[in-house]
Structure 1
Amino acid sequence: MMETPRLKISVGSQVFQANLQASESTTALLKQLPFTLSMVELNGNEKYAELKQALPTQAELVGKIQSGDLLLYGNNVLVLFYESFSTPYRYTRIGKVTDTAGLAKALGAGNCQVKFELNP
């Protein structure tokens, strides 16, 4: 079985690791790495940004969002959640930050730059 690569997510000097979901969406996303996104604050619980290229989707009703979830909304909006809450929306799972300690603080209150790259 092939090991799923891990994602390195950098916010300023803070670095977080994310385990990735094995899927067509994740494979397509990995082909676009590395990139830095200007992520926009939304609802005090998430940061989102449009990707340059649309990804295949396997959207599902996730029900409960967990802090650290990295999900795809629609086919081209990458969302990084830093709070846990219930949602009626459908998302495609991309991955999950393994240790969310300090994630909300690192992302801050406003928009921010977030770098995504493969973990060597």
Structure 2
Amino acid sequence: MKYLLTSLLWVCAFASHADTTLRKDNVMKARMIINGQPFEVRIHDNPAAKSFVNMLPLQLEMTELNGNEKFAELPHRLPSSPVRPGTLHAGDLMLYGTQTLVLFYASFDSSYRYTPIGNVVNPGTLPAMGDTDKIEVEFSRQ
């Protein structure tokens, strides 16, 4: 019985590890360039995010709002499944409504509802975006 239990634990441990590895390898990514600086964006696995990736390549002029985000209207509507994230983080890329793309460059609590699109992998320099009213952003497939 002890041998059977030990074997079962090993099988579960390896199965769990294999599943995690598979998910990491299948993560969809995009490239975002702001003022010549490249960023990697991990794309969420949902219909809105997949539709966003299908629009790429895409150039947007994003406008300042509230001292913590930039937004732009997309050329087409996307499917939406809004959630209330509670805390938004610098680097969150979200859909507001069905056609407004929002890039957050500061972290804060919010009661608004958004559909998650992706997250900037290393958002460290994003807060500097607050220094200007408008930014040019290029998105492409990676």
Same fold (TM over 0.5): yes
C-alpha RMSD over aligned residues = 1.4
Partner of 1:67: helix, strand, or coil? coil
Asked whether 1:92 is paired with 2:115, we answer yes
Query: What do the CA deviations read for 1:22-80 (whole angstroms, capped 9, x no partner)?
Result: 01001111111001101010011000000010000110011110000000000000000
Could you say if the C-alpha distance between residues 9 and 90 of structure 1 is closer, same or farther in structure 2, counting changes exceeding 3 Å?
A: same
Instruction: Provide the residue aligned with 2:53 in structure 1.
Output: 30
1:12, 1:106 within 8 Å by CA — same for their partners in 2?
no
**Larger Cα-atom Rg:** 2
Runs of 5+ in structure 2 lacking a partner?
1-21
Please give the alpha-carbon distance, in whole angstroms, between the structure 2 residues aligned to 1:68 and 1:115. Answer: 15
Aligned residues: 119
Higher helix proportion, which one? 2
Instruction: Single out whichever of 104-113 and 15-24 deviates more from structure 2.
Output: 104-113
Runs of 5+ in structure 1 lacking a partner?
none
1:33, 1:116 within 8 Å by CA — same for their partners in 2?
yes
TM-score (norm 2): 0.79
Higher strand proportion, which one? 1
Query: What do the CA deviations read for 1:77-112 (whole angstroms, capped 9, x no partner)?
Result: 000000000011000001000101111225642111
Larger RCO (alpha carbons 8 Å, 6+ apart) = 1
TM-score (norm 1): 0.93
